[in-house]
Structure 1
Amino acid sequence: MDGTLVDTEPYWIDTEYAMAERYGGTWTEKDAMQLVGNDLVSSGVYIKERMGLSQSPEEVVEELLDGVVERLAAGVPWRPGARELLTELTGAGVRLALVTMSYARFAAPILAQLPPETFRVVVTGEQVANGKPHPEPYLTAAAALGVDPARCVAIEDSGTGARSAEAAGCTVLVVQNHVPVPDGPRRVFRDTLEGLSVADLAALESELLG
């Protein structure tokens, strides 16, 4: 979701800097990029240690979410082509799952802007024992959809997310955003979601096979 369907990374980064200022901690752009794609508790651990906070990682996460959800109220920054692709996929009867390491209360205002049942399955960070880059989030989503992960295309913007989907056996369409993503055996790269069709996604496996 973050960085792929919506460009909320600036919201997270602004909130992180605000927390550092509030508590007299240190934070840099490098720190912020370190967290892109991670599960939230891991990010909470990193922020706690980096800023020298007394709160637990879980409390850090909740404070971080408060700030980001507040910013979302001012508007949801959709990525180019994201809503159009979702509309085409649902119109074609393609079953979709949202796999995000954000929590449900962050995903809710974004999902509220989409037609009901756009995503038949939603897997959020608090629903899995192992977050990305572990394969559990994508394996959970595929099982809930009732499909073989090898028959799934995952769309990702980070190396952490791509590793998770790849380890689950998915074909991975990478649309880089804030961080560079290295090549991988099941990864295909595009510059944007704009103009992508159902047929384009269906052809990705053939492209990987060369």
Structure 2
Amino acid sequence: MISPLPAAVLWDMDGTLVDTEPYWMAAETPLVERFGGTWTHEDGLGMVGLGLEDAARILQGAGVRMEVDEIVAHLTAEVMRQLREDGVPFRPGAREMLRELRDAGVPTALVTMSMSRMAKIVTELIDFDAFDIVIGGDDVARPKPHPDPYLQACESLGVDPADTVAFEDSITGARSAIAAGTVTVGIPNMVSLDEVGAHVLWPTLEGRTVADVADVLAQARQGVRA
């Protein structure tokens, strides 16, 4: 028996669709050092999945003497520059999964805490119509880990969160998707998701198919966790 397809698949961007977390760290380190501070790899890991305003406040605590909106604008500009210069670094299997979902007629949303203008650059660099909607960090009142971003995406698509599958790589993002009521697939990248409570963990999307996504949804409906 073939499992029914999800009503939509909701994608995080940084670290899930594209491996841009190193780009963010590359922007954070010189910014902190400009103001005489130090920024370690572990500091950068602590920022994974955070809303940009929350991340900016942490950088202020590390000594960056700039306003929150100035920090957000600076980091966004730096990551956008790296994307334009180096291209979109898709995570393994992500582009193929996205294409297969589109070919199967499954609605898709990009749900990211990056600014919407940066998310749109990423989508424009994909060589097919990849997403029905894009929800950026500047589109929601409360960022991840609050459920608002995923709830807004589901409302915009006209779907019940319980009928959707979300892909996430961070603790903050997975908590947001779970709180919204989606069936959440954790795809760890830079941080472990072992204790976050995702319905299933996949190392990457490489080799995964739409049928696998449908099976995760079916198992969740039956109360089964992988």
Q: TM-score range by the shorter chain?
A: over 0.9
1:6 aligns with 2:18: yes
Match of 2:204 among 192, 195, 201: 192
What residue in structure 2 maps to residue 35 of structure 1? 47
What residue in structure 2 maps to residue 68 of structure 1? 79
Secondary structure of the residue that 1:72 maps to in structure 2? helix
Distance 1:185 1:19 in 2: 34
Deviation, structure 1 residue 109: 2.1
Q: Using the aligned pairs only, state the percent identity.
A: 46
Secondary structure of the residue that 1:173 maps to in structure 2? strand
TM-score (ref. length: structure 2): 0.89
Distance 2:197 2:112 in 1: 22
CA contact (8 A) 1:76 1:110 kept: yes
Give unmatched runs, 5+ long, in structure 1.
none
What residue in structure 1 maps to residue 179 of structure 2? 167
Deviation, structure 1 residue 9: 0.5
Q: How does 1:123-138 map to 2 (within 5 A)?
A: 123-138=135-150
Match of 2:195 among 153, 160, 183: 183
**CA-to-aligned-CA distance 1:64-106 (integer Å, 9 cap, x gap):** 1121111111221111111110110000000001000000222
Secondary structure of the residue that 2:100 maps to in structure 1? helix
Amino acid at match of 1:59: E
TM-score (ref. length: structure 1): 0.95
Amino acid at match of 2:109: A
**How many residue pairs are counted as aligned between the two chains?**
209
Distance 2:64 2:143 in 1: 23
Match of 1:148 among 134, 137, 160: 160
CA contact (8 A) 2:170 2:188 kept: yes
Secondary structure of the residue that 2:105 maps to in structure 1? coil
Secondary structure of the residue that 2:118 maps to in structure 1? helix
Deviation, structure 1 residue 194: 0.8
1:109 aligns with 2:121: yes
Deviation, structure 1 residue 116: 5.1
Q: CA RMSD in A?
A: 1.3
Match of 2:33 among 14, 21, 38: 21
Amino acid at match of 1:63: H
CA contact (8 A) 1:80 1:192 kept: yes
Distance 2:91 2:217 in 1: 24
* TM superposition outliers: structure 1 runs of 4+ over 4 Å: none
Secondary structure of the residue that 1:183 maps to in structure 2? coil
Amino acid at match of 2:81: E
Q: How does 1:83-98 map to 2 (within 5 A)?
A: 83-98=95-110
Distance 1:176 1:184 in 2: 11
Distance 2:71 2:212 in 1: 41
Q: Judging changes above 3 Å, is the alpha-carbon distance between structure 1 residues 67 and 184 closer, same or farther for their aligned structure 2 residues?
A: closer
CA contact (8 A) 1:159 1:182 kept: no
1:57 aligns with 2:68: yes
Distance 1:197 1:7 in 2: 20
Q: Between the two structures, name the one with larger relative contact order (CA 8 Å, sep ≥ 6).
A: 2
